[in-house]
Chain A
Amino acid sequence: GAVVSQHPSRVICKSGTSVKIECRSLDFQATTMFWYRQFPKQSLMLMATSNEGSKATYEQGVEKDKFLINHASLTLSTLTVTSAHPEDSSFYICGYRFSSYEQYFGPGTRLTVT
């Protein structure tokens, strides 16, 4: 299967600061990546679809000015949480849609905002 990496795996930041999460496809080129968020003991919710070379598409209720997505190359997509608040603390996971509609996911980034 496709290999997807995320960095960092864990990050703690202070309220009001910004955090950047990187998602890399290691053995394939991805025109489309997906960003999901998972709160403790809950399921994954799609936040946005990241398209290489164009603007990301955000789901209803997700603030595009707060969650900045950049997909500048076929192997790298970044999610920046701007002016983070404690309620943004969550597990962020990127995914790539592979053949036959399977998605391969990164290992996730645990964000804690204090």
Chain B
Amino acid sequence: SQQGEEDPQALSIQEGENATMNCSYKTSINNLQWYRQNSGRGLVHLILIRSNEREKHSGRLRVTLDTSKKSSSLLITASRAADTASYFCATDGPYSGGGADGLTFGKGTHLIIQP
């Protein structure tokens, strides 16, 4: 398995605080993406960062990528109760079955925003 690791596995903070989640991966990548999953629901794409980018912003989200350390971080600023969800990083391939376009997901961070 090429799964990455998210850190921390669970995070509980107060509304208004910033939340930082980290992700590490094992192989070289073309890009890294972050997804959100509300309990028992499908995935929502948040942001994609390419391997030649170091930082990217989207609204309250800030993603960094350090390819030398094979790691990425997701920062959510001014958190809201609605941000409560699980967050996954995902990288592209490789896969043994030849499904080179499938994603490899990290184990996820469960974020709880306390109102």
Interface of A toward B, CB cutoff 8 Å: 1, 6, 32, 34, 36, 42-46, 48-49, 57-60, 62, 91, 93, 95, 97, 100-108, 110
Contacts and interface: CB of A to CB of B under 8 A. Distances in A.
B33 A93 contact: no
B105 A49 contact: no
B99 A59 contact: yes
Interface of B: 1, 3, 30-31, 33, 35, 40-45, 48, 88, 90, 92, 95-99, 101-108
B108 A48 contact: no
Contact of B3 (A1, A43, A101, A108): A43
> What is the interface of chain B mostly: helix, strand, loop, or mixed?
loop
A44 B105 CA distance: 6
A100 B51 CA distance: 13
B113 to A, nearest CB: 19
B101 A97 contact: yes
Nearest to A4: B42
Give the residue among B98, B99, B101 with the most A Cβ atoms within 10 A.
B99
B93 to A, nearest CB: 9
A43 B88 contact: yes
B107 to A, nearest CB: 5
Given A44-B88, A101-B92, A103-B103, A59 B97 contact: yes
Give the residue among B48, B97, B106 with the most A Cβ atoms within 10 A.
B97
